[in-house]
Amino acid sequence: LLAQEAGLKVRGHPGSVHQPATHSDVAPEPNSSTGLLQVSLQGTPHQVTGTVQGSTPVLQQINGATFKQAAPLSGPLLIYRAKASDASALATLAGLLSKAGSQLLSYHSSSTVAGEQWSVVGLSAPLSNLGELKPRVTEAFQLHL
């Protein structure tokens, strides 16, 4: 429901790469309030695990990379994957935020999987151009939830 309200197309089974986002429910652990979804963003499939804390959905895991502190999924978000040993993505992001007059409201990074980490960044306003960031990351996308 939250995805649909955010303008994402949601279907019961993984769809074609032409869909902005699709999901399919996967059985969670027994007696768990955690949900597991297969999500396709910009045609790339991702397996995400999350739950709801209070009234806020939170991301706990993406593609096997676990967030020590669950990342809140609300407002403008930037989610990116980059080499864990390279801090240039965060430095570049700070410069982009400064140029755009936007603020970093929250930052959550995942455990390292295959030498890379996921970052979930809460922003005061979405960035209009990720061009400078893209060479420093494996993938990046913005959502507004």
Flag whether the pTM goes above 0.85.
no
User: How sure is the predictor about 1, in pLDDT bands with cuts at 50, 70 and 90?
Assistant: low
Domain-located, residue 94: yes
If you search the block for the tokens 């032409």, which residue do you land on?
18
Q: Is pLDDT of 17 > 70?
A: no
9 domain-assigned: no
State pLDDT tens for residues 117-136.
999 999 999 999 999 999 99
| Number of independent structural domains in the chain | 1
Full domain range(s) for residue 108: 35-144
The verdict on residue 4 lying in a domain is no
Distances in whole angstroms, Cα of residue 47 to Cα of each of 40, 75, 78, 97: 9, 21, 17, 28
Written as six digits, the tokens of 138 are 């494996």
Q: What CATH code is carried by the domain that includes residue 130?
A: 3.30.70.260
DSSP reduced 3-state for 125: coil
